[in-house]
Amino acid sequence: MQSADSRCKMKLKRFCLRYYPPGIIIEYEKGEQLKTKSIDLLHLSAETNPDELVAEIIQTEPLITEHWADQIKDIVIRLQEKITQQNHHKFCFVKALNAHLLPLTNVAFNKPGSKFITGSYDRTCKVWDTTSSMCLLTLESHQSVVYAISFNNPFGDKIATGSFDKTCKLWCAETGKCFHTFRGHTAEIVCLAFNPQSTLVATGSMDSTAKLWDVESGDEVATLSGHQAEVLCLCFNTVGNQLITGSFDYSVVIWDVPSRSLVHTLNGHHGEISNVQFNWDCSLIVSASMDKTCKLWDAASGMCVATLKGHTEELMDACFDLTGQLVATASADCTAKVFNATTYEQLFTLKGHESEISKVCFNPQSTRLLTASSDRTARLWDVKTGECLQVLSGHTDEIFSCAFNYEGDILITGSKDNTCRVWY
């Protein structure tokens, strides 16, 4: 609890709703600086008593006094209405975009979902208008495959592209101007991410290192050396003070971003790491491995808290839902699974694909799961029942990338057939 003296130096400006995951963003002035902090309401449900929750918020957040009780209650009720809306949305195929001359590598939305980007073996990244399906920009000058792509969400004004040419480029999302070319890796760049503040870009490479780059200056900030083999995946936590990297050396490493130092090496897998991710509140890490298992780790201690088993072939992907209460896994055994992230109980095995599942992702509401497969289809599943709701077909080759927009009412599938398909 802050003292009355420090509290009076902070002036509350306004509240903003955050629907996914549910929460309240507080804007306030401290000195002459405008700052924000978030109140996460990850367990909010239709059964939550608004008055009790408001009382708890007032008790724990010094900036919010009884004066704001009615406004906070109104926000809580609006959040409850949003998350309890019945989601019976059926996706309809809108358009196939002959996006590239060679197969796609990845697709990604900006936060509003108004634009998306595609990377390709044809050495380019393209920016698309979601509504019109028009190509707005072609980002070209890489000398090899554009493999990793990302918007700097939530801002969406910059794009990073990582290439097999060993460089990462930073672009203006509006004009296509290349701000910086990050050089320093000695092998292909296969993963990248912006930190939440959009001040850093992290890149992972086949040279066994990750690097941090300054968005403003274009300078290399740090080389993170701790793996003995290729770095295949990485992820910042939602605060931005930690980065995790997963490698072909079977390990996951937690890095402290401010000090650029290694915090923990997570050992226990017996196969290459295919994906890593923090949950929303930064308390847990999920890792998927070619050893046919998924592990959950305590982010603070680095201890393994659970090994999620059941797949009979390699895991290609794993992810948390936005509230961090569920984990989904995708496997070469043609199935996906959904687990409870708290009890570690297996809830469902999702069967129906005829070939390996390469990608899995939850919608923002955590009510649907999307799987992409080399059987040329994507499938939409009900998270509460495990039922397959839709088979999204039409691609003529394997699908290895898929994504929802922020509202969860548009999705994109990217395929080796050189196209992406937009579904509303």
Q: Residue 55 in contact with residue 85, Cβ under 8 Å?
A: no
Q: What's the CATH fold of domain 310-424?
A: Methylamine Dehydrogenase; Chain H (2.130.10)
User: Any long-range contacts for 18-24 (C-beta under 8 Å, 24+ apart)?
Assistant: 19/79, 19/82, 19/83, 19/364, 20/322, 20/364, 20/365, 20/406, 20/408, 21/280, 21/322, 21/323, 21/324, 22/79, 22/82, 22/83, 22/323, 23/79, 24/57, 24/72, 24/75
What local confidence, expressed as pLDDT, does residue 87 receive? Answer: 66
Reported as a single tens digit per residue, the pLDDT across 301-348 is: 999 999 999 999 999 999 999 999 999 999 999 999 999 999 999 999
Q: Residue 203 in contact with residue 217, Cβ under 8 Å?
A: no
Reported as a single tens digit per residue, the pLDDT across 383-407 is: 999 999 999 999 999 999 999 999 9
Residue (of 88, 73, 86, 148) closest to 117 by Cα position = 148
Q: Residue 87 in contact with residue 365, Cβ under 8 Å?
A: yes
* pTM for the model: 0.95
Average pLDDT over every residue of 286-300: 98
What local confidence, expressed as pLDDT, does residue 39 receive? Answer: 97
Phi-psi map region of 249: left, alpha, beta (phi>0 left; psi -120 to 50 alpha): alpha
Q: Annotate 114-168 with DSSP letters as a single string.
A: SEEEEEETTSEEEEEETTT--EEEEEE--SS-EEEEEE-TTT-SEEEEEETTS-E
Count of Cβ atoms closer than 10 Å to residue 36 Cβ: 10
- CA-CA distance, 277 to 272, in Å (whole number)? 15
Computed over every residue of the chain, the mean pLDDT equals 95
Q: Residue 188 in contact with residue 166, Cβ under 8 Å?
A: yes
Reported as a single tens digit per residue, the pLDDT across 78-114 is: 999 998 776 678 999 999 999 899 999 999 999 999 9
**What is the token pair recorded at 33?**
């600086």
Spatial neighbors of 246 by CB under 8 A, at least 6 apart, are: 231, 232, 233, 234, 252, 273, 274, 275, 276, 287
- CA-CA distance, 169 to 143, in Å (whole number)? 12
Q: Which band of pLDDT confidence, cut at 50, 70 and 90, is reported for residue 9?
A: confident
Task: Count Cβ atoms within 10 A of the Cβ of residue 125 and give its class: 0-12 exposed, 13-18 middle, 19 or more buried.
Answer: buried
What local confidence, expressed as pLDDT, does residue 192 receive? Answer: 98
C-alpha dist (Å) from residue 373 to 5, 295, 409, 422:
58, 22, 21, 16
Angle between helical axes of 50-60 and 69-83 (0-180°, round to 10): 120
Reported as a single tens digit per residue, the pLDDT across 242-287 is: 999 999 999 999 999 999 999 999 999 999 999 999 999 999 999 9
pLDDT at 3 over 50: no
What local confidence, expressed as pLDDT, does residue 166 receive? Answer: 98
Count of Cβ atoms closer than 10 Å to residue 43 Cβ: 11
- CA-CA distance, 271 to 332, in Å (whole number)? 14
DSSP label at 90? -
Count of alpha carbons within 13 angstroms of residue 38, beta-carbon side:
14
The dihedral formed by the CA atoms of 119, 320, 76 and 17, expressed in degrees to the nearest 10:
-20
Q: Which secondary structure element, helix H or strand E, spans residue 209, and what is its range?
A: strand 209-214
Q: Sketch the domain layout of the chain as residue ranges.
A: 1-10+38-83, 310-424
Q: End-to-end CA distance of the chain: give it in Å, rounded.
A: 47
What local confidence, expressed as pLDDT, does residue 6 receive? Answer: 45
Average pLDDT over every residue of 108-135: 96
Residue 397, helix vs strand vs coil: coil
- CA-CA distance, 228 to 186, in Å (whole number)? 15
What local confidence, expressed as pLDDT, does residue 8 receive? Answer: 46
Residue (of 213, 153, 226) closest to 184 by Cα position = 213
Q: Residue 214 in contact with residue 172, Cβ under 8 Å?
A: no
